Structure 1
Amino acid sequence: MEEQSGPPTYDRIGVGYRRIRRPDPRLHALIGAALRGARTVVNVGAGAGSYEPEGAEVTAVDPSQVMLDQHPGRRKVKASASQLPFPDGAFDAAMAVLTVHHWPDPRQGLAELRRVARRQVVFTWDPAHRPQLWLMEDYLPEIRELEESRFTPLAEVVEALDAYTVLPFPIPHDFTDGYQAAYWRRPELYLDRTVRQASSTFATLPPEVVEPAVERLRADLASGEWHRRYADLLDREDMDYGYRLIVAGEPAGE
């Protein structure tokens, strides 16, 4: 699903990715509506193929062979977002799901989406959004620093795409796709190393940073401190942590 400069992160952490990063039907429906009517779609930073539309001819692009090997499709291309090997207007739509922050040149990659497709659908995170996940605030501020350094500000993505729609996606409490904020109401899952390794942020930070924070969380869960501190979250059905779907180009259904 994601890419970066140099050896792709997911060549290292991508084995078994699909077990933890299971597409959530609610996000799938949101992305599917934005792609409605597109017969040919290029999925840039495709990874294992999450959220691709049914019924469309999808071409998966990713720089990681490990991730492409897990992709179930037949049309797979190992390439960078910054240099898509397709002619102008080759696709009805281009999609990019939680990947722009890994591109070596986000503006060039977004320009490539506009060049090769008549519609662009991008799911990303707004680093300026508040509140942020409690994990960043109280346990691992290093995550916040890393994420804010690599995520392109939402306004810049919107401007680069000349987008006409920005849709919020509050994360359901039972969200199935194990990206970083998925377990906001299930904190015990952050104690699982396998769950953490499916997140590029956790995989990027050194163990000497992550492990002490995880142990503090473990202690707070055992003592009940976490539940006292975050009691207001326990009855919520979803939380808006700044994830956004951006739609640009040719409107859906046309």
Structure 2
Amino acid sequence: MIAQRPDRAAACVRGTAEALPLRDGSVDAALAVLTVHHWTDVEAGIAELRRVARKRIVILTWDQSVFREFWLVREYLPAAAAVSAGHAVPVARLVELLCGARVEPVLSPHDCTDGFGAAFWRRPDAYLDPGVRAGISMLAQADPRELVDGLSMLDKDLNSGAWHERHNELSTLDRLDAGYRLIVSG
């Protein structure tokens, strides 16, 4: 990602959540986007965000209890759901660590251009693309052998029209609550 930045972009630094290479109170706000599930020590990472941020901390994560009902993981890729659940940090735990932060739902638009887990909720054929799956950690980290049957079933259901029949109501929605949440402190 750093290599993709324009030459005139603001400076960036490399570090880990648990040891941010920044001075105390050096930023107005700290933002963590779909990353806390990759941290080795969530408590240390939150402490670091609190240390460097003067005013606000914002975390985008997901509520596992909502996400596990997402059609892709519920019907086709339970192995991915297991990866997701195994790494998820409960929203309540993050709120606790951030001393009572507020939680706001983030609805995914039907034409979302980002590639996170539920971004293609109304474009299911995207999940058949290996390039798309490689950019979604729960799919990239799952054992590929455990995804084969589910992906084959999804492909079959798309070709037969069964997926569209079963999920017809999705075609009328502009946004979907797949469990993504903003946790805002400060």
Using the size of structure 2 for normalisation, the TM-score is 0.92
Aligned position for 1:149? 86
Q: Distance in 2 between matches of 1:124 and 1:242?
A: 8
Which of 176, 180, 185 is 1:239 aligned to?
Answer: 176
Aligned position for 1:139? 76
- Of stretches 161-170 and 79-88 in structure 1, the one that deviates more from structure 2 is 161-170
Task: Tell me the secondary structure at the aligned position of residue 57 of structure 2.
Answer: strand
Percent identical across equivalent pairs?
Answer: 46
Query: Structure 1 residue 96 and structure 2 residue 32: aligned?
Result: yes
Which 4+ residue blocks in structure 1 deviate beyond 3 angstroms? 71-74
Q: Which amino acid aligns with 1:111?
A: A
Q: Distance in 1 between matches of 2:44 and 2:140?
A: 26
Query: Structure 1 residue 168 and structure 2 residue 102: aligned?
Result: no
Task: Tell me the secondary structure at the aligned position of residue 78 of structure 1.
Answer: coil
Aligned position for 2:51? 115
Structure 2 unmatched runs, 5+: none
Deviation at 1:130, TM superposition (A): 6.0
Q: Which amino acid aligns with 2:158?
A: L
Which of 182, 189, 193 is 2:130 aligned to?
Answer: 193
Aligned position for 2:19? 83
Q: Paired residues, what number?
A: 183
Q: Which has the higher contact order (CA 8 A, sep 6+)?
A: 2
Deviation at 1:163, TM superposition (A): 3.9
User: How far does the alpha carbon of each residue in 1:128-165 deviate from its partner, in whole angstroms, 9 at most, with x for none?
Assistant: 22662101001111111111111100000111012432
Structure 1 unmatched runs, 5+: 1-66, 250-254
Aligned position for 1:105? 41
The 1:130–1:85 alpha-carbon spacing in structure 2 relative to 1, beyond 3 Å, is: closer
User: How far does the alpha carbon of each residue in 1:5-33 deviate from its partner, in whole angstroms, 9 at most, with x for none?
Assistant: xxxxxxxxxxxxxxxxxxxxxxxxxxxxx
Task: Tell me the secondary structure at the aligned position of residue 234 of structure 1.
Answer: helix
Using the size of structure 1 for normalisation, the TM-score is 0.68
Q: Which amino acid aligns with 1:222?
A: N
CA contact (8 A) 1:128 1:153 kept: no
- Of stretches 68-77 and 143-152 in structure 1, the one that deviates more from structure 2 is 68-77
